[in-house]
Amino acid sequence: MQFALLIYESPEAFATRKSDGTDPYTSAWRAYHKALVESGVFVAGDPLEVPETGTTIRIRERQRGVQDGPYADTKEQLGGFTILELPSLDAALEWAARCPAASLGAVEVRALAPDIKRRII
Amino acid sequence: MNESVLEKTQRTIERVARESYGRLVAYLSVHTHDLASAEDALSEALLAALAHWPREGVPQNPEAWLMTTARRSLIDVIRHNRVVLASEPTLMLLQKDSTEVLMATEFPDERLKLLFVCAHPAIDLAMHTPLMLQTVLGIDAVRIAAAFLVSPKTMGQRLVRAKTKIRQGGIHFEVPQDRDLPQRLDAVIEAIYAAFGIAWDDMAGADQRGRNLAEEAIWLARVLLQLLPNQAEVQGLLALMLYCEARRPARRDARGRYVPLSEQDPKQWLSPLIEEAEGHLAEAFKLGRIGRFQLEAAIQSVHAERARTGRTEWEAVTRFYEQLLRISPTLGTRTGYAVAAAETKGPKAGLELLDNIDVEAVSSYQPYWAVRAHLLQKLGKSAEASDAYDRAIGLAEDPAVKEFLLQKRG
């Protein structure tokens, strides 16, 4: 089964992106990524640019709405995602707990939905 | 109503609930095999206590009051659900002596049977501990779910499923016969220790939940020991947990940073807990039946000795691990043995022991990587050490442990 870890990060966590990469948070991410890959569970994943760079589009009654910034205006923001191949949700939750963002922001675990995908492609 | 009376009564109810929960659930379910109804009935009784006691005063025997009230409510529940589960004989049985019970101040302690039911081989192994925490201690599913890193809804469903299996699956509420006892008792002990293990790992310093679950596990072990005083492994289990618990204040420094065992200040260890642990371990050894938990406790007793002697007798640790390996060659034992061997014979010997462990088996076992990194670093293999540190950091959950390892990696 594949699971997505949706990484929600705090402003402090986003701020570490400006550091030289030796800060504890970035180092913890480097270690976490290595553990994911070497344990053979990593499928894909990427960080996203900071939320302020997002642009959100809505079309209502043929009117285009364009908003600067992310979809939702919350303190913690989506900062990236990771897709893992794991036998169960329990295993996915364990990996989520190890994620550096879990102790500074939040990590949401969702199973991918291959059935829905098959209806589409 | 005077608020302080209400508060005082609430505290009394909390205390009685805590002390009597398991006894009441066990007694109420021993004939019906229906844990869920027993728990519902007890919740009703606790609510009733909350309504009556502040006005009428706390009864002389609160436990008997709760039991009588819960029992009445259980009869109602069973009547209501009779289509599903009512066995007429059970109903009769419950009603038959309800008048006697009204007068009674004592009832048999059936918790031992309940503990064996929770850790029954027909119940999913992963549910032994959650069932115990809920039915014997009355801990709610949300808290259990958090401890086990499962969603609250899922944990609730799993608990319901396990209880249904107990009710319908012909699982007997009984103490196993002598020939089955050792094996069945192992399952009970393992389940209690699992609760402690979670509390031990889940120690983000400020997190109260972790500490409380350790206390609950110790409480369960005390209950078990009270019910089975002549079982060496039960003494061993309690000793082991007390030794570990004694070190809790020393596991973090004033700034919340992780402090490994070797760097802990023994003055911060809780000596009354250590003394109590020694007592239990000595009792266990007198029974002359060595087992896994006694050996694990013995290893901790060697570490505890440092408070008196100022040094760790690693030769003794190694010998206990050698015995432990023969009866319980788990990843934890093998990793611990490597640590001890590294102390007595040097890091190379420790590393060789780690090399013998199948890499697949340790792909997500954090302590292995932490020990491996430490030994590689001691041997001056810095590139390999750094890789192993990364694995250990990536597998760690506790931010304080991550930070500690990041610093060691350099």
Within its chain, how far is the Cα of B142 from the centroid? Answer: 17
* CB contact burial B78-87 (16+ within 10 A = b; e otherwise): beeeeeebee
A100 touching B (Cβ < 8 Å): yes
Q: Residue B86: how many CA atoms within 13 Å on its side-chain side?
A: 13
Quote the CA–CA distance of B380 and B5 in Å, as a whole number: 67
Nearest CA in chain B to A108: B151
Q: Which residues contact B178 (CB under 8 A, 6 or more apart)?
A: none
Quote the CA–CA distance of A45 and A28 in Å, as a whole number: 16
Quote the CA–CA distance of B271 and B286 in Å, as a whole number: 23
Mutate which of A3, A38, A89, A110 to test chain B, going by most B C-beta atoms within 10 A?
Answer: A38
Contacts of B125 in chain A (CB under 8 A): none
Q: How many CB pairs under 8 A join A and B?
A: 56
pTM: 0.88
A33 touching B (Cβ < 8 Å): yes
Predicted confidence at residue B212, as pLDDT, reads: 76
Cβ(B39)–Cβ(B25) under 8 Å? yes
Question: Does the distance separating the beta carbons of B149 and A97 come in below 8 Å?
Answer: yes
Question: Does the distance separating the beta carbons of B364 and A93 come in below 8 Å?
Answer: no
Quote the CA–CA distance of B30 and B24 in Å, as a whole number: 10
| pLDDT surpasses 50 at A5 | yes
Predicted confidence at residue B92, as pLDDT, reads: 55
Tokens (6 digits) for B270: 């809780």
Nearest to A98 among B204, B363, B397 (CB): B397
Question: Does the distance separating the beta carbons of A27 and B149 come in below 8 Å?
Answer: no
B256 touching A (Cβ < 8 Å): no
pLDDT block averages, 10 residues each, chain B of length 410: 76 86 92 92 93 90 91 83 55 54 65 95 95 92 89 95 92 91 94 89 51 85 93 97 95 92 96 98 96 97 96 97 96 97 97 95 94 97 96 94 94
How far off is chain A from B143, nearest CA to CA, in Å?
Answer: 16
Predicted confidence at residue B226, as pLDDT, reads: 93
Quote the CA–CA distance of B114 and B192 in Å, as a whole number: 13
B6-9 long-range contacts, Cβ below 8 Å, gap at least 24?
Answer: B6/B54, B9/B50, B9/B53, B9/B54, B9/B58
Confidence label for A18 from pLDDT (cuts 50, 70 and 90): very high
Tell me the residues of chain B between 350 and 409 that have a Cβ less than 8 Å away from chain A. Answer: 363-364, 387, 389-397, 399, 402-403, 406
Nearest to A39 among B204, B363, B399 (CB): B363
Which DSSP helix (H) or strand (E) runs through B308?
Answer: helix B292-309
Cβ(B389)–Cβ(B402) under 8 Å? no
Nearest CA in chain B to A23: B406
Q: Which residues contact B193 (CB under 8 A, 6 or more apart)?
A: B217, B237, B240, B241, B293
Question: Does the distance separating the beta carbons of B396 and A34 come in below 8 Å?
Answer: no
Nearest CA in chain B to A102: B397
Spatial CA neighbour of B192 closest among B134, B131, B129? B129
B150 touching A (Cβ < 8 Å): yes
DSSP state of B83: H
Predicted confidence at residue B81, as pLDDT, reads: 67
10 Å CB burial of residue A46 (0-12, 13-18, 19+) is: exposed
Read off the pLDDT of each residue in A82-97 and give the average, rounded to a whole number. Answer: 96
How far off is chain A from B207, nearest CA to CA, in Å?
Answer: 12
List, as one string, the DSSP characters of B136-165. Answer: TT---HHHHHHHHT--HHHHHHHHHHHHHH
Quote the CA–CA distance of B178 and B180 in Å, as a whole number: 5
Question: Does the distance separating the beta carbons of B399 and A103 come in below 8 Å?
Answer: yes
Contacts of B402 in chain A (CB under 8 A): 24, 28, 31, 100
Nearest to B393 among A28, A39, A103 (CB): A28
Quote the CA–CA distance of B65 and B74 in Å, as a whole number: 14
How far off is chain A from B363, nearest CA to CA, in Å?
Answer: 5
Q: Which residues contact B2 (CB under 8 A, 6 or more apart)?
A: none
Please report, as a single letter, which amino acid is at residue A1.
M
B228 to each of B111, B113, B184, B185, how far by Cα in Å?
11, 12, 13, 10
B157 touching A (Cβ < 8 Å): no
User: SS in 3 state form for A50-86?
Assistant: CHHHCEEEEEECCEEEEEECCCCCCCCEEEEEEEEEC
Quote the CA–CA distance of B23 and B135 in Å, as a whole number: 10
- Whether the CA torsion B239, B331, B148, B33 is positive or negative: it is negative
